């Protein structure tokens, strides 16, 4: 999943770079206000600010495993995860989807193309395709790995059962051979045999419990990787847009907004990574990939800033299509895999205060992220 995300990020960047030039009638409105001397230092500041904030947000839940209150089974973790899920939900609905509609209904698109002739909400179609595609990937991947582990566990259980049967036969033979030693000794043998049988049953119960834990881990791994895939798509786009901008005032507002944006999104992704129980190497790779995507997009935008025109038809169609799909992915992940899973958790359902707390936390996260739409 991680290599495919990297390939997707590269494809997004190449598509946008191919759209650097546009028609004169729809040149970027920032062209008259270009001030490279002031804009370039702000882009450098944005690069490091977004990098650090993204790393902090994604690393906090991972490092919090060493703090008892922040462990996945703790109440605080539920609150943090609900807050982050609210942020991701607002990102899809408030930040990405409206931009997709703006791009795919822009006056700079050719009037004789399908975007104008059909009068069809292509952004909504893209979001639906993204959500359905995520559902398919989510269920197919989870089902595949679950079946693989169940087959493995079934084979191990069969081996254990055969071994237990052999042990019982040996014990029965020993009991028959020593039957002449007296009733007291016979009782001892029966007790020992019963003990051995109970021990085998306990081991089987433990194996079943372990299978359930393994299934949950697989589920969380799929969730974290699909979520990162959705985040990567729009992270590349916003990075290139910021790096290509030549308006210092626009960049100033974007620096603060996108820094908080990356931190909050990182918290949501970091919480999923913690529950997925990845090995240390995989955790580092996923965090680095999340942290570097937007800064690398800024570098790409910086490199093509002299010729990039975000209002060219190709750029509008590419950005609008990718944004709409990314919005569908994030909305699905936030509602189904993050919020619904935690809100229906028996631990939450049985405790009114915790249920109220995660509702408030989710609303605060969604509200704060919605406010950032004023600037980004």
So where are the chain's domains? 42-153+212-374
pLDDT the model gives residue 86: 92
pLDDT the model gives residue 362: 94
- Burial bucket for residue 108 (CB in 10 Å: 0-12, 13-18, 19+): middle
pLDDT the model gives residue 222: 85
pLDDT the model gives residue 232: 82
pLDDT the model gives residue 319: 87
pLDDT the model gives residue 152: 67
Q: How would you write the chain as a 3-class SS string?
A: CHHHHHHHHHHHHHHHHCCCCCCHHHCCHHHHHCCHHHHHHHHHHHHHHHHHHHHHHHHHHHHHHHCHHHCCCCHHHHHHHHHHHHHHHHHHHHHHHHHHHHHHCCCCCCCCCHHHHCCCCHHHHHHHHHHHHHHHHHHHHHHHHHHHHHHHHHHHHHHHHHHHHHHHHHHHHHHHHCHHHCHHHHHHHHHHHHHHHHHHHHHHHHHHHHHHHHHHHHHHHHHHHHHHHHHHHHHHHHHHHHHHCCCHHHHHHHHHHHHHHHHHHHHHHHHHHHHHCCCHHHHHHHHHHHHHHHHHHHHHHHHCCCCCCCCCHHHHHHHHHHHHHHHHHHHHHHHHHHHHHHHCCHHHHCCHHHHHHHHHHHHHHHHHHHHHCCCC
pLDDT the model gives residue 110: 81
pLDDT the model gives residue 357: 95
Sign of the alpha-carbon torsion through 257, 260, 266, 267:
negative
pLDDT the model gives residue 195: 46
Query: Tokens at residue 81, please?
Result: 């995860």
- Burial bucket for residue 351 (CB in 10 Å: 0-12, 13-18, 19+): middle
For residues 298 and 303, give the distance between their C-alpha atoms in angstroms, rounded to a whole number. Answer: 9
pLDDT the model gives residue 65: 74
For residues 164 and 354, give the distance between their C-alpha atoms in angstroms, rounded to a whole number. Answer: 45
pLDDT the model gives residue 353: 93
pLDDT the model gives residue 16: 58
| Residue 316 near residue 106 (C-beta atoms within 8 A) | yes
Query: Tokens at residue 167, please?
Result: 């042990």
The torsion region of residue 27 among left (phi > 0), alpha (psi -120 to 50) and beta comes to beta
| Residue 160 near residue 210 (C-beta atoms within 8 A) | no
Q: Pick from 267, 268, 228, 237: which is nearest to 376 by CA?
A: 237
pLDDT the model gives residue 312: 86
- Burial bucket for residue 15 (CB in 10 Å: 0-12, 13-18, 19+): middle
| pLDDT averaged per 10 residues, the chain (length 376) | 54 58 53 65 90 89 76 81 89 90 87 70 92 88 76 60 55 58 47 44 41 73 84 84 82 82 84 85 89 90 81 86 89 89 88 94 92 78
pLDDT tens digits for 153-201? 566 555 555 555 545 555 655 566 555 555 444 444 444 444 444 444 4
Cβ neighbors of 294 (< 8 A, separation 6 or more) are 50, 51, 54, 235, 236, 238, 239, 258, 262
For residues 266 and 57, give the distance between their C-alpha atoms in angstroms, rounded to a whole number. Answer: 4
């Amino acid at each position: 999943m991680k290599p495919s995300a990297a390939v997707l990020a590269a494809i997004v960047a190449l598509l946008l770079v191919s759209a650097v030039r546009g028609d004169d009638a729809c040149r970027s409105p920032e062209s008259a206000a270009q001030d490279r001397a002031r804009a370039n230092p702000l882009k450098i500041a944005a690069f490091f600010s977004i990098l650090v904030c993204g790393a902090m947000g994604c690393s906090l839940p991972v490092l919090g495993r060493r703090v008892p209150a922040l462990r996945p089974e703790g109440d605080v973790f539920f609150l943090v995860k609900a807050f982050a899920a609210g942020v991701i939900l607002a990102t899809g609905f408030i930040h990405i989807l409206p931009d997709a509609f703006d791009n795919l209904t822009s006056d700079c698109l050719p009037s004789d193309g399908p975007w104008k002739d059909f009068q069809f909400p292509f952004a909504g179609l893209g979001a639906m395709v993204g959500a359905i595609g995520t559902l398919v990937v989510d269920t197919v991947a989870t089902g595949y790995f679950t079946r693989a582990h169940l087959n493995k566990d079934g084979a191990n259980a069969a081996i254990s059962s055969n071994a237990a049967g052999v042990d019982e036969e040996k014990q029965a033979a020993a009991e028959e051979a020593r039957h002449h030693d007296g009733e007291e000794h016979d009782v001892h043998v029966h007790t020992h045999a019963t003990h051995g049988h109970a021990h085998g049953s306990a081991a089987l119960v433990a194996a079943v419990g372990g299978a359930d834990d393994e299934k949950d881990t697989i589920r969380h791994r799929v969730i974290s990787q699909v979520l990162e895939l959705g985040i990567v798509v729009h992270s590349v786009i916003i990075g290139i847009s910021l790096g290509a901008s030549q308006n210092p005032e626009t960049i100033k507002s974007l620096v603060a907004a996108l820094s908080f944006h990356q931190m909050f999104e990182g918290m949501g992704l970091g919480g999923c990574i913690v529950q997925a129980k990845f090995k240390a190497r995989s955790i580092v790779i996923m965090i680095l990939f999340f942290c570097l995507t937007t800064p690398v997009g800024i570098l790409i935008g910086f490199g093509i800033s002299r010729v990039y025109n975000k209002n060219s038809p190709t750029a509008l169609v590419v950005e609008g299509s990718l944004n709409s799909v990314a919005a569908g992915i994030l909305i699905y992940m936030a509602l189904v895999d993050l919020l619904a899973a935690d809100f229906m958790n028996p631990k939450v359902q049985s405790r009114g205060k915790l249920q109220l707390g995660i509702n408030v936390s989710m609303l605060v996260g969604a509200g704060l992220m919605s406010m950032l739409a004023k600037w980004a």
